[in-house]
Amino acid sequence: MSERQPLLLQSDASDYEGSRITAPPVRPLRSSPPDSTLVNVQSEDSIAVHAAATSADDEQSSQAGEEAGKSVYDPAHHRDLEHPTSNFDTLVHLLKGNIGTGILAMPDAFKNAGLYVGLFGTLLMGAICTHCMHMLVACSHELCRRLQQPSLNFSEVAYCCFETGPLSLRRYSNLARRVVTTFLFITQIGFCCVYFLFVALNIKAVLDHYFVWNVLIYLVIMLVPMVLLNLVRNLKYLTPVSLFASLLTIAGLVICFTYILRDLPDVNTVKPVATWATLPLYFGTAIYAFEGIGVVLPLENNMRTPQDFGGSTGVLNTGMVIVACLYTSVGFFGYLKYGEGVKGSITLNLPQGDVLSQMVRICMGLAIFLSYTLQFYVPVNIVEPFVRSHFDTTRLKDLAATVLRVVLVTFTFMLAACIPNLGSIISLVGAVSSSALALIAPPIIEIITFYHVGYGRYNWMLWKDIAILIFGLCGFVFGTWASLAQILTPSTD
């Protein structure tokens, strides 16, 4: 970084002074396949140096440089992609990134909201989350043009928007990056905890037909194979595992629908509107289900034709419409079918002695077990460089990385053992981390990013972002409070 800084500073100075001499361009960041870019949360040195050089100039020169950069720089044309994805590949990855254990918890969310509040609330939540994804992509494009970078990830967008925003906020750029990275870590650890408990409960539901054990025993039995599976460090070897897990998930959902849609009762048998006290729990579960905000930028950055990602009929809208319809269908018909007796995962409500229902539990349990590794890769990638930096030799670095993986898997096991209520932990993870990433961070980033550009006629963008921010903060506070209250004072189902 120290070697490249004078060159970058000289490049910025020449741009702002209007020199016709073309400075060497910033080396493009190499993108990688979606599964590995999903875990790329470390900022590049070139971004930090270039942003620091930009912030060193005064406000007027900065604006002039940004306008000049926008007219000549297209980030998509400077991406050096090893394996670019097609539109269909990106759509599949987007669906896989959004459809997980959250879809199976939607009937429980509808129980906390009521049938019709859940119906329209889930569609509204999907629309807001999708809009926030568009906001994040638009801010990424704006900052890429401003800093002449081919691509940025979530934490880098947070850093760069503060670094190029109002002068009074630039001191908080590193803090913004750390906050986003921290919430990414909390989110993925929460997902891993949910996955651990989900698999244990579904295995228990299958074996309870033959003998009854406590769920803690199943968690202990799972610990060793889970640790061994997560010692695999190369995501390339996990690609067939991920594909197999996706096929199992599809099969499990299809069979679940055959049970849910059979002999549906009348809509008058369930509550149309729930109480205010349980609405925060609905919010937490619903926002947890729309968990794909973290994969949006990696997928868009790795597309062969990124211009097809946005737009009214683009990949993002197409995928999120499918996701929102699936969530709404599972939640609506699942709650209508099982009413107030619905559990944290709809698979736990299927008939106990039926062979087909047992196959669903096995398929979904195995799929989530195999998907745990991809979710676990994100927090490991965040913490591992910091741990390795404290050791000198390669052997000690590798040993420390292995110990870290064992410790983190064990930590998620302990969390799952301490909070055996699946619905409560899903709501808590959604309220705390998913709302922060999906509803709070994007409007803040957009407000700061377009501070110098403007917010449109009557400042409509500013008022819209403030409304989304207030909605996200209310969900964060009340959802966290309600989830913690349910965990500390659990009710027996």
The enclosing domain of 225 has a CATH number of 1.20.1740.10
Quote the CA–CA distance of 293 and 299 in Å, as a whole number. Answer: 11
Per-residue DSSP letters for 284-353?
HHHHHHS-THHHHHHHHHTBSSGGGTSSTTSHHHHHHHHHHHHHHHHHHHHHHHHGGG--SSGGGGS-SS
> Residue 128's pLDDT is what?
94
Q: Is residue 130 part of a domain?
A: yes
The secondary element (H helix, E strand) that includes residue 31 is strand 30-31
> Residue 101's pLDDT is what?
79
Quote the CA–CA distance of 158 and 152 in Å, as a whole number. Answer: 10
Q: In which band, very low, low, confident or very high, does the pLDDT at 51 lie, cut at 50, 70 and 90?
A: low
> Residue 35's pLDDT is what?
38
Quote the CA–CA distance of 94 and 100 in Å, as a whole number. Answer: 11
238-271 burial code (b ≥16 CB/10 A, e <16)? beebbeebbebbeebbebbbebbeeeeeeeeebb
Q: Is residue 182 part of a domain?
A: yes
Quote the CA–CA distance of 325 and 119 in Å, as a whole number. Answer: 10
> Residue 37's pLDDT is what?
38
Percent of the chain with pLDDT over 90: 32
> Residue 8's pLDDT is what?
40
**Position 460: which residue type?**
W
**Whether pLDDT at 479 is above 80:** yes
Q: How many domains does the chain have?
A: 1
456, two tokens: 């449109």
Backbone angles phi, psi at 82, to 5 degrees: -75, -45
pLDDT tens readout for residues 400-426: 999 999 999 999 999 888 887 778 888
**Whether pLDDT at 4 is above 90:** no
> Residue 54's pLDDT is what?
53
| 107/240: higher pLDDT | 107
Q: In which band, very low, low, confident or very high, does the pLDDT at 138 lie, cut at 50, 70 and 90?
A: very high
Q: Is residue 60 part of a domain?
A: no
> Residue 400's pLDDT is what?
92
Q: Is residue 39 part of a domain?
A: no
> Residue 11's pLDDT is what?
40
**Whether pLDDT at 18 is above 80:** no
Sign for the pseudo-dihedral over CA of 47, 49, 52, 53:
negative
**Whether pLDDT at 27 is above 50:** no
Q: In which band, very low, low, confident or very high, does the pLDDT at 90 lie, cut at 50, 70 and 90?
A: confident
> Residue 71's pLDDT is what?
53
Determine contact, residues 326/215, Cβ cutoff 8 Å: no
82, two tokens: 């090893």
Domain with 249, as residue range(s), is 85-488
Place of tokens 């140096």: 49
> Residue 170's pLDDT is what?
92
Find the mean pLDDT for residues 46-53. 56
Q: Is residue 21 part of a domain?
A: no
User: Any idea of the CA torsion for 118, 339, 480, 158, to the nearest 10 degrees?
Assistant: -40
Quote the CA–CA distance of 55 and 52 in Å, as a whole number. Answer: 5
> Residue 240's pLDDT is what?
78
**Whether pLDDT at 81 is above 80:** no
> Residue 14's pLDDT is what?
39
pLDDT tens readout for residues 269-309: 899 999 888 899 999 988 888 877 888 888 888 888 888 99
**Whether pLDDT at 219 is above 80:** yes
Q: Is residue 79 part of a domain?
A: no
Q: Is residue 218 part of a domain?
A: yes
pLDDT tens readout for residues 306-343: 889 988 889 999 999 999 999 999 999 999 999 988 98
> Residue 239's pLDDT is what?
67
Helices (H) and strands (E) in the chain, counts: 21, 2
Q: Is residue 307 part of a domain?
A: yes
> Residue 110's pLDDT is what?
94
